[in-house]
Structure 1
Amino acid sequence: MMNCIILDDEPLALLKLAEYIKQIPFLTLEKACMETGEAHTLLEKKHIDLLFTDIDMPDMNGIEFIRSLTHPPMVIITTVYPSFAIDGFKLNAIDYLLKPFELEDCLRAAEKAQKMKSLNKQAPVPASSDDTHTLFVKSDYKVVRIDVDSIKYIESMSEYVRIYIEGKEKPVITLNSLQKLEARLPSHFIRVHRSYIVNLQKITEISRLRIRFDDKKLIPIGENYKEKVMNYITRYGML
C-alpha cells in the first residue's frame, strides 16, 4: 500500500482525482489539499509516499513547493500546461498527467510509483549518504572533490574525460573512461553518445536528437543510444 495526498486549488479537479484514487486498490488517500501550506504541514508530520500536485497554484508554484520540501515524496504532476514537462523532468517526477485525464492514466502513473517504491526497498542502503553525491578525481597532480549534482555533462577525449560543472568556466580533466564513470554515477546520469554522459536534471530541452543546456551547449544523441534515452524519458512520463 502507498499513502498519498493531492494538492490542487481547483475543487472539481480535486474531487475527480480523489475518486480515481479510491478506485486504485494499492493507494490510500490521506488528504486532498487546496493550499500548499496545508500540504506542507501534513508532509512534515507524516510520511507520505506519493504526492499528486498541480503546478499553477495561487499561493506558491507547484515546482517551487516541491523544491521547498526537505524530504519530498514521489511526485506525479497534474496540470493543463504541457510546457511544465521539462521542470517536472528535472524534479524526477514519476509521471506527468495532462488535464483532463482518465482513470486509466492515473492508474498507469500510480503503477509507476508502486514499481519505484518496490525498487527502492530492494536497493541496498549505501554506507554513506555522500557515496552518490561526491566524486573524487585526479587532475593536474592533485585530487579534486566534485559535487555530483553540480555536473552538467561529461565528454570523452581518448583516454581522458572532461567533466563540465555548473558555474565553472573550465572543465575538470582527468584520466578516466565514460564506462567507469557511468557505473559510479546516479541513475539520472545517462550515456547519450559514445562521447557523452549527461545529467538529465540539468538539461533545458531535447530537440531533433540534440540535448540543450542553459548555456546553449548542444549535445547529440547517438543513434545507438536513442532508444535508451527515449525509454528513460518515457519511464518518467515526460512523453
Structure 2
Amino acid sequence: MIQIRCMAVDDEPIALEKLESYIRRIPFLELVALCDSPMEAVQVMMERRVDALFVDINMPDLNGMEMVSSLPDPPMVVFTTAHTEYAVESYRFPAVDYLLKPFDFTNFQRAAGRLLKLAKVSNSMATTSDEDYLLAKDGYKYVNIRIAGILYIRGMRDYVKIHTEEKKPVIVSTSMSQIKEKLPPCFLQVHRSWIVNIRKVKEIERMRIVIGEERIPVGDSYRQQLMEFLRLHSLDK
C-alpha cells in the first residue's frame, strides 16, 4: 500500500489536534510532524521527507500560501481555513484540495482520497511495465493491446476508441469508467470523453493536450487534477 508522509501546520492547538486525530484514522497517511508555525514546518521539510501538507492559510508572520510559495520543491498541499475569502484565493494555487473550517471527517477523507489518487499517479510513472497488455474485443475478435503503446482513448456514445502507436484505432464496446478501471494511474481522464496516456503528451497549451496531431480538450471539472499533476512533475517549480 502507498504510504503518504504528511505534516499538519496550524497555529491553533485545537485545529492541530483535530488534524492529528483525522490523519491517524486514515491507514495510508503517515504523520511525520505537527507544527504550530510555518517557519518550524519549513525547517522540518529541510530535514525529513514530506509528501503532503495540511496547512492553515491564516497564520501570523507567514501565511500558509506564502509558505508554500517559498518552497523550492513543494509537496502536495491541502489548505485549511476558516475564512471563505482565503478558500477562494487558494484556488489560484495548485492545491489538491481545501478544507473550510469547521470541517468534519467526511470532508477530510475526501481530501485524503485526492492525495492518494495523485500519489498513485506519481508512483505509476516508474512502475508501469512496457509488457503489460489489455485484452479487448474488437468486433468479432479479441486483440491484445500493449498498454504502454496507447496514446489516448476517446469515448463515443456506446463504445470507446483506443488510439495506439502501433495500429489503427481499436473500437471496443465498453464505457469510459470500465476501461479506466483496467488502466494504470498514468492514464488521466481529462474530459468526460477523453483519457490520455500522460507519457505520450507532447505539450499542453491553453488547456489543450497535444498528442501526435490530436489536440485534446481539458474539461472544467478535470482541470484541478491535471494542474496538480503538472505541478508535481514539472521541472519548473
What TM-score does the superposition give when structure 1 sets the normalisation length? Answer: 0.55
Question: Residue type of the partner of 1:185?
Answer: E
Distance 1:189 1:42, change over 3 A: farther
Distance between the aligned counterparts of 1:93 and 1:112, measured in 2? 10
Distance 1:3 1:91, change over 3 A: same
**Which residue of 9, 18, 21 maps to 1:19?**
21
Provide the alpha-carbon RMSD of the alignment: 2.9
Distance between the aligned counterparts of 1:101 and 1:109, measured in 2? 11
**Which residue of 221, 226, 229 maps to 1:230?**
221
Structure 2 partner of 1:184: 202
Distance 1:189 1:102, change over 3 A: farther
Tell me the CA shift for residue 82 of structure 1.
2.1
Distance between the aligned counterparts of 1:236 and 1:22, measured in 2? 28
Q: In the alignment, is the contact (CA less than 8 A) between 1:6 and 1:14 conserved in 2?
A: yes
Q: In the alignment, is the contact (CA less than 8 A) between 1:89 and 1:236 conserved in 2?
A: no
**Which residue of 8, 29, 37 maps to 2:39?**
37
SS in 1 for 2:99: strand
Distance 1:82 1:234, change over 3 A: farther
Question: Residue type of the partner of 1:52?
Answer: F
Structure 1 partner of 2:83: 81
Structure 2 partner of 1:55: 57
Q: In the alignment, is the contact (CA less than 8 A) between 2:54 and 2:79 conserved in 1?
A: yes
Tell me the CA shift for residue 235 of structure 1.
8.4
Identical amino acids, percent of aligned pairs: 36
1:1-239 to structure 2, matched below 5 A, reads 1-123=3-125, 183-186=201-204, 189-191=206-208, 228-233=219-224
Q: In the alignment, is the contact (CA less than 8 A) between 1:3 and 1:30 conserved in 2?
A: yes
- The number of residues matched between the two structures is 148
Q: In the alignment, is the contact (CA less than 8 A) between 2:78 and 2:111 conserved in 1?
A: yes
Structure 1 partner of 2:151: none
Distance between the aligned counterparts of 1:190 and 1:40, measured in 2? 33
Distance between the aligned counterparts of 2:105 and 2:52, measured in 1? 17
Q: In the alignment, is the contact (CA less than 8 A) between 1:80 and 1:100 conserved in 2?
A: yes
Tell me the CA shift for residue 38 of structure 1.
0.8
Tell me the CA shift for residue 89 of structure 1.
2.6
Q: In the alignment, is the contact (CA less than 8 A) between 2:96 and 2:225 conserved in 1?
A: no
Tell me the CA shift for residue 123 of structure 1.
2.4
Structure 1 gaps of 5+ residues are: 126-182, 192-224
Distance 1:234 1:81, change over 3 A: farther
Question: Residue type of the partner of 1:229?
Answer: D
Listed one character per residue, the Cα deviations across residues 63-111 of structure 1 (whole Å, up to 9, x for unaligned) are 1100111111100000012222454233210001100111111111111
Listed one character per residue, the Cα deviations across residues 198-227 of structure 1 (whole Å, up to 9, x for unaligned) are xxxxxxxxxxxxxxxxxxxxxxxxxxx7x9
Tell me the CA shift for residue 124 of structure 1.
5.8
Distance between the aligned counterparts of 1:50 and 1:63, measured in 2? 14
Structure 2 gaps of 5+ residues are: 128-200, 209-216, 229-237
Q: In the alignment, is the contact (CA less than 8 A) between 2:9 and 2:34 conserved in 1?
A: yes
Distance between the aligned counterparts of 1:228 and 1:118, measured in 2? 21
Distance 1:83 1:113, change over 3 A: same
Distance between the aligned counterparts of 1:231 and 1:104, measured in 2? 22
Question: Residue type of the partner of 1:51?
Answer: L
SS in 2 for 1:90: coil
